[in-house]
Amino acid sequence: MIDLRPVGYVIGIIVSVLGATMLVPGIVDALARGGNAGAFFESALITLILGFLTTLACQNRAGSSLSIRQAFLLTIGIWLTVPAFGALPMVIGAPEVRLIDAYFEAASGITTTGASVFVD
Protein backbone atom coordinates (compact mmCIF):
# COMPACT_ATOMS: atom_id res chain seq x y z
CA MET A 1 0.00 0.00 0.00
CA ILE A 2 1.32 3.40 -0.95
CA ASP A 3 1.60 6.10 1.71
CA LEU A 4 -0.19 9.19 0.40
CA ARG A 5 0.76 11.49 3.29
CA PRO A 6 3.94 12.87 1.67
CA VAL A 7 2.00 13.52 -1.55
CA GLY A 8 -0.79 15.31 0.30
CA TYR A 9 1.72 17.27 2.36
CA VAL A 10 3.46 18.72 -0.71
CA ILE A 11 0.16 19.40 -2.48
CA GLY A 12 -1.07 21.18 0.66
CA ILE A 13 2.02 23.40 0.70
CA ILE A 14 1.66 24.25 -2.99
CA VAL A 15 -2.04 25.02 -2.59
CA SER A 16 -1.23 27.25 0.40
CA VAL A 17 1.35 29.16 -1.66
CA LEU A 18 -1.24 29.57 -4.42
CA GLY A 19 -3.69 30.95 -1.86
CA ALA A 20 -1.11 33.46 -0.65
CA THR A 21 -0.41 34.60 -4.20
CA MET A 22 -4.14 35.17 -4.76
CA LEU A 23 -3.91 37.99 -2.24
CA VAL A 24 -1.73 40.05 -4.61
CA PRO A 25 -4.34 40.60 -7.36
CA GLY A 26 -6.93 41.12 -4.64
CA ILE A 27 -4.90 43.93 -3.11
CA VAL A 28 -4.18 45.47 -6.51
CA ASP A 29 -7.86 45.31 -7.46
CA ALA A 30 -8.88 46.83 -4.12
CA LEU A 31 -6.44 49.71 -4.60
CA ALA A 32 -7.62 50.25 -8.19
CA ARG A 33 -11.27 49.95 -7.11
CA GLY A 34 -11.91 47.35 -9.79
CA GLY A 35 -14.77 45.67 -7.99
CA ASN A 36 -13.48 42.08 -7.99
CA ALA A 37 -11.23 42.19 -4.93
CA GLY A 38 -13.77 40.23 -2.90
CA ALA A 39 -13.60 37.29 -5.30
CA PHE A 40 -9.83 37.13 -4.92
CA PHE A 41 -9.95 37.46 -1.13
CA GLU A 42 -12.65 34.77 -0.80
CA SER A 43 -10.71 32.47 -3.11
CA ALA A 44 -7.50 33.13 -1.21
CA LEU A 45 -9.19 32.36 2.11
CA ILE A 46 -10.70 29.10 0.84
CA THR A 47 -7.43 28.06 -0.79
CA LEU A 48 -5.28 28.94 2.23
CA ILE A 49 -7.55 27.13 4.67
CA LEU A 50 -7.82 23.95 2.58
CA GLY A 51 -4.10 23.98 1.79
CA PHE A 52 -3.20 24.44 5.45
CA LEU A 53 -5.60 21.72 6.59
CA THR A 54 -4.24 19.31 3.96
CA THR A 55 -0.68 20.06 5.05
CA LEU A 56 -1.62 19.61 8.69
CA ALA A 57 -3.50 16.35 8.06
CA CYS A 58 -0.70 14.86 5.97
CA GLN A 59 2.26 15.73 8.15
CA ASN A 60 4.75 12.90 8.24
CA ARG A 61 7.00 12.78 11.27
CA ALA A 62 9.46 10.40 9.60
CA GLY A 63 10.66 12.90 6.98
CA SER A 64 11.24 10.30 4.28
CA SER A 65 11.88 10.95 0.61
CA LEU A 66 9.31 10.29 -2.12
CA SER A 67 9.26 7.01 -3.99
CA ILE A 68 8.90 6.95 -7.77
CA ARG A 69 5.22 6.03 -7.45
CA GLN A 70 4.60 8.85 -4.98
CA ALA A 71 6.38 11.31 -7.28
CA PHE A 72 4.13 10.34 -10.18
CA LEU A 73 1.04 10.73 -7.99
CA LEU A 74 2.34 14.08 -6.76
CA THR A 75 2.77 15.34 -10.31
CA ILE A 76 -0.72 14.24 -11.32
CA GLY A 77 -2.17 15.67 -8.12
CA ILE A 78 -0.54 19.05 -8.63
CA TRP A 79 -1.65 19.29 -12.26
CA LEU A 80 -5.24 18.53 -11.28
CA THR A 81 -5.44 20.45 -8.00
CA VAL A 82 -3.73 23.77 -8.76
CA PRO A 83 -5.99 24.72 -11.71
CA ALA A 84 -9.05 23.76 -9.65
CA PHE A 85 -8.10 26.27 -6.97
CA GLY A 86 -6.87 28.74 -9.58
CA ALA A 87 -10.34 28.72 -11.13
CA LEU A 88 -12.02 29.85 -7.90
CA PRO A 89 -11.69 33.62 -8.53
CA MET A 90 -13.44 33.25 -11.89
CA VAL A 91 -16.17 31.03 -10.46
CA ILE A 92 -16.79 33.37 -7.52
CA GLY A 93 -16.26 36.68 -9.35
CA ALA A 94 -18.12 35.82 -12.56
CA PRO A 95 -20.90 33.31 -11.83
CA GLU A 96 -21.90 33.24 -15.51
CA VAL A 97 -18.60 31.48 -16.33
CA ARG A 98 -18.99 27.71 -16.49
CA LEU A 99 -16.80 25.68 -14.14
CA ILE A 100 -15.07 23.78 -16.96
CA ASP A 101 -14.25 27.07 -18.74
CA ALA A 102 -12.80 28.53 -15.55
CA TYR A 103 -10.75 25.36 -15.00
CA PHE A 104 -9.44 25.49 -18.59
CA GLU A 105 -8.53 29.19 -18.26
CA ALA A 106 -6.72 28.54 -14.97
CA ALA A 107 -4.78 25.61 -16.43
CA SER A 108 -3.94 27.72 -19.47
CA GLY A 109 -2.75 30.57 -17.27
CA ILE A 110 -0.62 28.35 -15.04
CA THR A 111 1.00 26.61 -17.99
CA THR A 112 1.28 29.90 -19.94
CA THR A 113 -0.02 28.28 -23.13
CA GLY A 114 -2.15 31.28 -24.04
CA ALA A 115 -5.15 29.18 -24.99
CA SER A 116 -8.54 30.63 -24.11
CA VAL A 117 -12.18 29.69 -24.38
CA PHE A 118 -13.30 33.32 -24.10
CA VAL A 119 -13.62 35.55 -27.14
CA ASP A 120 -12.65 39.21 -27.00
Distances (CA, A) of 120 to 29, 91, 107, 116: 21, 19, 19, 10
Report d(CA 73, CA 15) in Å as an integer: 16
| Domains of the chain, residue spans | 5-111
pLDDT in tens, 29-52: 989 988 888 899 999 999 999 999
Nearest alpha carbon to residue 27 among 18, 15, 36:
36
Q: What is the pLDDT of residue 120?
A: 65
Instruction: Tally the C-alpha atoms within 13 A of residue 30's C-alpha that lie toward its C-beta.
Output: 11
Q: What is the rounded CA–CA span in Å between residue 27 and residue 25?
A: 5
- Kindly give the parts of the chain with pLDDT less than 70: 61-63, 120
pTM of the model: 0.86
